[in-house]
Structure 1
Amino acid sequence: MSIGAAFQETFDFLKANWTQMLLWVGGAVVLLALLGYLMLGSTFQMMAMSAGDPSAMMGALGRIFLFAIVAAVILYAASMLIWRSGLHPGEAPNFGWALQAGPAFAFGMFVVFIAAYIVMMIVMFILALIFGAAFAGAGGFSPSAFQAGTIGGGAIAVMILFYIAVIVFFLWIVGRLSVAGPVMADRLTRNPVTGIAESWRMTGASQWTIVGFYVLVGILSLVYGFVVGLIFGGIMGAAASGGSGAGAVISMIVMALVVYVPQLLLSFAMPIGIYRAIAPRASGDVFA
Structure 2
Amino acid sequence: MSIGAAFSETFAFLKANWMQMLMWVGGALVVVGLLGFLFLGSTFTAMAMSPADPSVAFGAIGKIFLFALIASVILYGVCMLIWRGGMHPGEAPNFAWAFQAGPAFAFGMFVVMIAAYIVIFVVMLIFALVFGAALGGMGAMSPDALASGAVGGGAIFVMLLLYVGVLVFMLWIQSRVSVAGPVMADRLTRNPVTGFAESWRITGASQWKIVGFYLLFALGMLAYLFVASLIFGGILGAILGGSAFGAMLTMIVMAALVYLPIMMFSFSMPVGIYRAITPRAAGDVFA
**Alignment check: 8 A CA contact 1:145 1:153 kept:** no
Q: Which amino acid aligns with 1:258?
A: L
Aligned to 2:205: 205
TM-score by length of 1: 0.91
Aligned to 1:121: 121
- Post-superposition CA distance 1:142-176 (Å, at most 9, x none): 65243xxx243223212211110110000000000
Aligned to 2:188: 188
- Post-superposition CA distance 1:49-74 (Å, at most 9, x none): 34444334423332221111111111
- Post-superposition CA distance 1:209-267 (Å, at most 9, x none): 000000001111111122222322431343256x7876665454333322211111011
**Correspondence 1:275 to 2:241:** no
- Post-superposition CA distance 1:113-169 (Å, at most 9, x none): 1011111111111111111111232139965243xxx24322321221111011000
Q: Which amino acid aligns with 1:144?
A: A
Query: In the superposition, relative to structure 1, how do residues 204 and 257 fare at CA in structure 2: closer, same or farther (>3 Å)?
Result: same
Separation (CA, whole Å) in 1 of partners of 2:156 and 2:51: 42
Separation (CA, whole Å) in 2 of partners of 1:198 and 1:74: 24
Separation (CA, whole Å) in 2 of partners of 1:234 and 1:49: 33
Q: Which amino acid aligns with 1:96?
A: A
Secondary structure of 1:162 counterpart: helix
- Post-superposition CA distance 1:72-130 (Å, at most 9, x none): 11111011111010111111111111111111111111011101111111111111111
Deviation at 1:19, TM superposition (A): 0.7
Query: In the superposition, relative to structure 1, how do residues 32 and 152 fare at CA in structure 2: closer, same or farther (>3 Å)?
Result: closer
Separation (CA, whole Å) in 2 of partners of 1:170 and 1:20: 31
Task: Give the total of aligned pairs.
Answer: 284
Between stretches 21-30 and 152-161, larger displacement belongs to: 152-161
Aligned to 1:106: 106
Aligned to 2:158: 158
Aligned to 2:147: 144
Structure 2 unaligned runs (5+)? none
Separation (CA, whole Å) in 1 of partners of 2:17 and 2:212: 25
**Alignment check: 8 A CA contact 2:83 2:185 kept:** yes
Task: Give the RMSD, CA atoms, in angstroms.
Answer: 2.2
TM-score by length of 2: 0.91
Q: Relative contact order, CA 8 A, sep 6+: which one is greater?
A: 2
